[in-house]
Structure 1
Amino acid sequence: MPRFPEITAAARAVSGSVYSKLERDPDAPPPVPLHVGDTWMEPAVGCRMQDLTVEAHPGMHRYSDVPGLPALRQRIAEVHGARAGYPTGPEQVLVTAGATAGLAATVGALVAPGEEVLLAAPYWPLIAGSLRAFGARPVDVDLMIDTMSADEAVARFEAARSDRTVAVYWNTPHNPTGRLLPKSWLEALSEWARSHGLWIFSDEVYEDYVYEGEHHYTRALAPECTISVHSFSKAYGMAGNRCGYLVAPEEVIGAVKRIMTNINYSACTASQLAALNALDGAADAWVRQAREKYAEIGRRVADRLGLDAPRGSTFLFVDVTEALDERGLSGLLADLGQAGVLVAPGPSFGPYPNHVRVCFTAAEPARTLQGVEILARHMKR
């Protein structure tokens, strides 16, 4: 029987926004946006849309090859291979319309409806939505807040595994806590995943933003089952360009490409040209400068909130239990919104009803600190 005008169960299961919907006075000044992962900095000169011309790049407004511009795939293979310490060819690279679209297409290619993916929680929110959109089930594994050994981390994943589990997901440098996954964890978890025949979705979009310690690449530990996810948005301040990439075994790249072809066909050609310029050196100084600025503002924000400084990424995950009243987290979010600051609610990242995520790079540092001061006052700190 026709079911018009019903909406599918998968679509109903996906939230339209990972942020709370707050009503604000339309005449009030714009709130401080601590809720969204972005940067106040414009991209490096040479990597902006205004730097690209048809004369220099004939055909820049046409489709690229579906897997990406050949020159960009070759350059990604060179850069990623050197960073990860594992030989990489362009056939193992797929350029995507942002890391988000790349991960969604990966889910579509590798996870069947009804199957489960274990998520190291708290996690980047849109991965759970992508799984639900394809009829799969996200399973939260509380991992990234507690201090534990590698064996304990493996035990938590093992306790969550079922006969429907087909993949695991983690991200490092970590959104939302600002932590780095230790190499010992990655080695133990990768070996555990391999022993059970699981795919590994390794989200490494903040690889360029490590302030203390070292980022370790999962792909070098389990290359036959790892899909490594990367982003020009986060690396080079190009979020609006929607350009990222995957590195994975060639047969996986082929499968994901088939899904992506039928969703967005190819990534924006001009965005790929800007990304190639960035990888060819135009953004090197920009990244160094951004890393220094991000580290400094991250330390200042953490200090004001009474937290350890982030070791990487552009986020802090804040326990606001002491600021909650009988209205719970929604009440605090409403109060903060009326006071002129937006933060992301903890439940978007897993089972964390007493937390909020703060991004310390979306607004200029002075404005960010104003927003953090509002949050700190509500927390009575």
Structure 2
Amino acid sequence: MSAATSPSERRVSARIGAISESATLAVDAKAKALKAAGRPVIGFGAGEPDFPTPGYIVEAAAEACRNPKYHRYTPAGGLPELKAAIAEKTLRDSGYEVDASQILVTNGGKQAIYEAFAAILDPGDEVILPAPYWTTYPESIRLAGGVPVEVVADETTGYRVSVEQLEAARTERTKVVLFVSPSNPTGAVYSEADAKAIGEWAVEHGLWVLTDEIYEHLVYGTAKFTSLPAIVPELRDKCIVVNGVAKTYAMTGWRVGWLIGPKDVVKAATNLQSHATSNVSNVAQVAALAAVSGNLDAVAEMRTAFDRRRQTIVRMLNEIDGVLCPEPEGAFYAYPSVKELLGKEIRGKRPATAVELAALILDEAEVAVVPGEAFGTPGYLRLSYALGDDDLVEGISRLQKLLGEAKA
């Protein structure tokens, strides 16, 4: 070992140094910085609703600020009243009956995902990770000592993996399979039959399933959300559900998520959180309580807007030669293939990768998008349509103009 890489010389640990920055947040930060500098940048990077948090939720938080009860430490695992409400909400929305003792309230979905993996993975355990995947998944797996094993789906299957693909990736070290529907970054939604087949396959082989249900209410057309432990009851003793208020209630900045799982795993994850962060902000928890206890009227209004934007962005992207964009059925992302544009000349440059193409788009069209390399699949772009209708049309019009200039 050279002196430069010896433990005494290493300034950042190898474990933390190996973690990459969130690509989606990096793109969003760059777009906001350019906009602050006066450039008319339109950002399709962050998965963040452009709507304000509904007023009744904000008022609940304001009242909590004035209540001395919430000025002090509360249980690390979450306010008891919020955990009870999450259990009721889960039964209402998913048909999955759980006890409050099976719930841990976390600082957003990201903490829930990491703590779930940390609670069940030992060093070297493998996690089957369908790709395209959200950027945080592989980093959380590695940070918890696990090994992500990617299984790639493309536009020909609507970005959905099959049981056959999952089985081909299974080894004696496989411990967990990740299941996400609706999906970030593709918007893919699995049918109940396909979801059930994956759940039953996991049960057959004694595997854990971590399922991320953060986009449960954002499905369109004939697509339907199904909760895996609700439709495969045999899975419940080895299933962890991750969810939160961020996407459904336009509460990304409030940082409240949760995980649901077997009591021993939830207790272990709660112990971890008690040392890492202790309780989630009480004010944010009270806001989340108002959100999950209330009706879904505001959610329905936002979903209607997202559906309209979904149809617009897909139509406009598919009007560009060399771009192929399947229609997403959920979440608020479009994930077009741009493989046919790579290597073509656009304003004197020949981008060879989606990373280079995204950089060109930002420089020449002042539009921020995230390259597919961030999600494990080169040759694609992710665009969030959780932005205003006018900005969406203007941004995609700029793309049409720029990419329409591509030539061999």
1:371 and 2:383 are equivalent in the alignment: no
Partner of 2:166: 157
Partner of 1:206: 215
CA displacement, residues 236-282 of structure 1 (integer Å, 9 cap, x when unaligned): 0010011011111111111111222222222111111011111222x
CA displacement, residues 119-168 of structure 1 (integer Å, 9 cap, x when unaligned): 11111110111112223211111136332899x81110111111221101
Q: 1:74 aligns to what SS in structure 2?
A: helix
1:33 and 2:29 are equivalent in the alignment: no
Counterpart-to-counterpart distance in 2, 1:380 and 1:54: 53
Which residue identity does 1:322 align to in structure 2? E
Map 1:183-222 to 2 at 5 A. 183-212=192-221, 213-220=223-230, 221=232, 222=235
Counterpart-to-counterpart distance in 2, 1:181 and 1:189: 10
Partner of 1:289: 301
1:10 and 2:23 are equivalent in the alignment: no
Map 1:240-255 to 2 at 5 A. 240-255=253-268
Q: Once structures 1 and 2 are overlaid, which stretch shifts more, 28-37 or 371-380?
A: 371-380
CA displacement, residues 343-363 of structure 1 (integer Å, 9 cap, x when unaligned): 11101111x2110111000x3
The offset of 1:366, in angstroms, is 0.9
Counterpart-to-counterpart distance in 2, 1:302 and 1:125: 23
Q: Once structures 1 and 2 are overlaid, which stretch shifts more, 182-191 or 371-380?
A: 371-380
Q: 1:261 aligns to what SS in structure 2?
A: helix
Q: CA RMSD in A?
A: 2.3
Identity in percent:
29
1:345 and 2:385 are equivalent in the alignment: no
The offset of 1:56, in angstroms, is 5.8
Please say which structure displays the higher CA radius of gyration.
Answer: 2
1:223 and 2:236 are equivalent in the alignment: yes
Which residue identity does 2:291 align to in structure 1? A
CA displacement, residues 96-138 of structure 1 (integer Å, 9 cap, x when unaligned): 1001100001111111222211111111110111112223211
Contact 2:126 2:174 in 1 (8 A): yes
CA displacement, residues 354-379 of structure 1 (integer Å, 9 cap, x when unaligned): 10111000x32211221122223333
Judging changes above 3 Å, is the alpha-carbon distance between structure 1 residues 245 and 9 closer, same or farther for their aligned structure 2 residues?
same
Q: 2:187 aligns to what SS in structure 1?
A: coil
Equivalent in 145, 156, 180 of residue 189 of structure 2: 180
Contact 1:202 1:229 in 2 (8 A): yes
Judging changes above 3 Å, is the alpha-carbon distance between structure 1 residues 297 and 312 closer, same or farther for their aligned structure 2 residues?
same
The offset of 1:233, in angstroms, is 0.6
Q: 1:146 aligns to what SS in structure 2?
A: helix
Which 4+ stretches in 1 moved above 6 angstroms?
Answer: 20-26
CA displacement, residues 311-361 of structure 1 (integer Å, 9 cap, x when unaligned): 1101111111233224322321111111211111101111x2110111000
Counterpart-to-counterpart distance in 2, 1:273 and 1:88: 21
Runs of at least 5 residues in structure 1 that lack an aligned partner in the other structure: none
Partner of 1:305: 317
Runs of at least 5 residues in structure 2 that lack an aligned partner in the other structure: 1-5, 319-324, 344-349
Contact 1:323 1:378 in 2 (8 A): no
The offset of 1:211, in angstroms, is 1.0
CA displacement, residues 38-90 of structure 1 (integer Å, 9 cap, x when unaligned): 01100101112685225763322333211111111001101102322232111
Judging changes above 3 Å, is the alpha-carbon distance between structure 1 residues 256 and 2 closer, same or farther for their aligned structure 2 residues?
same
The offset of 1:30, in angstroms, is 5.0
Counterpart-to-counterpart distance in 1, 2:326 and 2:164: 26
Counterpart-to-counterpart distance in 2, 1:136 and 1:130: 9
Counterpart-to-counterpart distance in 1, 2:72 and 2:159: 51
Judging changes above 3 Å, is the alpha-carbon distance between structure 1 residues 125 and 115 closer, same or farther for their aligned structure 2 residues?
same
Give TM-score, length-normalised by structure 1: 0.92
Equivalent in 69, 89, 108 of residue 79 of structure 1: 89
Contact 1:320 1:379 in 2 (8 A): no
Which residue identity does 1:374 align to in structure 2? R
CA displacement, residues 158-183 of structure 1 (integer Å, 9 cap, x when unaligned): 11111221101121111111121111
Counterpart-to-counterpart distance in 2, 1:271 and 1:89: 22
CA displacement, residues 210-250 of structure 1 (integer Å, 9 cap, x when unaligned): 11221010121121111111110111001001101111111
Which residue identity does 2:271 align to in structure 1? R
Partner of 2:337: 319
Q: 2:53 aligns to what SS in structure 1?
A: coil
Contact 1:84 1:219 in 2 (8 A): no
Structure with more relative contact order (C-alpha pairs < 8 Å, separation 6 or more) = 1
Partner of 1:356: 381
1:120 and 2:138 are equivalent in the alignment: no
Give TM-score, length-normalised by structure 2: 0.86
Contact 1:123 1:176 in 2 (8 A): yes
